[in-house]
Amino acid sequence: MKNFKNSLALLTIVFLTGCVTTQSFSVKVDSVNQFTLLNYNDFSLSTNSENLSPEVNPLVLEAIESRLANELELRGLKSSEDSDLLFELSISAKDEIESNRFGSRSYYYDRRYFYLDDDIETEERFVLRLTIKDKTQDKSLWTGFTSWNQNRLNDSSDTEIIQTLVNNLLEEL
């Protein structure tokens, strides 16, 4: 009976642990073969804050920029405007259009089928690209790309999600 209780407790813990979801961002990466951050001691960071679309929250961009600078400094790099290594961070917004003509409705019983109603939906998505460039060679060395919908991250107080976003980008370096 005691073994049954122990195994039931263990199975409950395993089940609950499996139900916990961790948020992550899908990151697409491309880089030059020999690129590594170990060859550099400092970095500079620039953003597209001057030409943001109105949909993008500038406070979110500043929060991502600040978190990225902190993470790079934790990796041993120093922030310097005269650095050869430039991190370009840009965010933009785009609309995704989806047509759900034959959605979850049962057309056998739904008379709206004959009226050919419009089932087009738009969803706003934010796109972030981080590009690492060498100023002396004027070449891009690494680029990472991710996107998310408006409901996931649209507030600068979402520090946990911003931390996850930056970590997922820097994991690929």
pLDDT of residue 90: 92
Q: Report phi then psi at 2, rounded to 5.
A: -70, -40
DSSP codes, the chain: -HHHHHHHHHHHHHHHHHH--------EEEE-TT--GGG-SEEEEEE-GGG--TTS-HHHHHHHHHHHHHHHHHTT-EE-TT-SEEEEEEEEEEEEEEE-TT-S--TTT-GGGGGT---EEEEEEEEEEEEEEETTTTEEEEEEEEEEETTTS--TT-HHHHHHHHHHHHHT-
Enumerate the β-bridge partners of residue 31: 142
pLDDT of residue 142: 93
pLDDT of residue 147: 86
pLDDT of residue 14: 65
- Is this prediction's pTM over 0.75? no
Separation between Cα atoms, residue 163 and residue 46, nearest integer Å: 19
pLDDT of residue 143: 93
Residue type, 128: L
What six digits make up the tokens of 125?
């998505």
For 25-96+127-171, CATH number out of 3.40.50.261, 3.30.160.670, 3.20.20.70, 3.20.20.80 equals 3.30.160.670
Task: Show pLDDT as tens, one digit a residue, over the chain (173 residues).
Answer: 677 777 767 666 766 565 555 556 788 888 888 888 888 899 999 998 888 888 888 888 899 999 999 999 999 999 999 999 999 999 988 887 776 655 555 555 555 555 555 567 777 888 899 999 999 989 999 999 988 877 667 666 778 888 888 888 888 77
pLDDT of residue 16: 59
What six digits make up the tokens of 165?
């976003």
pLDDT of residue 43: 94
Instruction: Report long-range pairs for 160-163 (Cβ below 8 Å, ≥24 apart).
Output: 161/23, 162/60, 162/63, 162/64, 162/67, 163/67
Q: Residue ranges per domain, the chain?
A: 25-96+127-171
